[in-house]
């Protein structure tokens, strides 16, 4: 995973950039499935206004949904941008992804405020 023209130094990711990265990733709905490193990379790309070179589709989606420029590292370019929503497996209610969502590649992303059932992430159509 590379960012153009940047000497990577993870200690230099500012809290403000991380906050912005979380805001951007929450807005696109990708945040719950991003690792700490993913969020760091996103924060650097946003903070430095860099071109994000990655094949990680969630990173690409989050960054390009914010107007960022992404380039594929290997696979062919995708141009689709989508958004994710929290979807209740019980009552079916959909909600936006909050910035303080628990993040994990595997576990569920919380439970429903209304009925307590597990929430999952579902792709939703862009406005
Ligand atoms: Zn529910």
Indicate the domain borders of the chain: 2-71
How many angstroms does the Cα of residue 21 sit away from the middle of ligand 1?
28
How many angstroms does the Cα of residue 119 sit away from the middle of ligand 1?
8
Q: Which class does domain 2-71 fall in? A: alpha beta
pLDDT tens track, the chain, 127 positions: 555 555 555 557 889 999 999 999 999 999 999 999 999 999 999 998 889 988 888 999 999 999 998 887 765 555 677 888 999 999 999 989 888 887 876 667 888 999 999 998 888 865 4
Helix or strand or coil: residue 126?
coil
pTM: 0.60
Closest CA to 54 of 67, 68, 95, 66: 68
How many angstroms does the Cα of residue 121 sit away from the middle of ligand 1?
13
Distance CA 77, CA 82 (A): 15
How many angstroms does the Cα of residue 113 sit away from the middle of ligand 1?
7
pLDDT at 89: 92
What CA–CA distances, in Å, run from 73 to 42, 49, 69, 76?
Answer: 15, 18, 13, 9
């Amino acid at each position: 995973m590379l960012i153009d023209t940047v000497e990577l130094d993870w200690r230099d990711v500012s809290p403000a950039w991380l906050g912005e990265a979380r805001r951007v990733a929450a807005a696109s709905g990708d945040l719950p499935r991003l690792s700490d490193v993913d969020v760091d990379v996103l924060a650097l790309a946003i903070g430095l206004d860099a071109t994000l070179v990655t094949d990680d589709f969630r990173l690409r989606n989050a960054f390009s949904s914010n107007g960022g420029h992404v380039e594929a590292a290997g696979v062919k370019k995708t141009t689709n941008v989508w958004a994710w929503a929290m979807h209740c497996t019980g009552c079916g209610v959909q909600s936006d992804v909050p910035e303080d969502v628990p993040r994990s590649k595997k576990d569920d992303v919380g439970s429903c405020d209304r009925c307590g059932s597990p929430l999952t992430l579902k792709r939703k159509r862009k406005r």
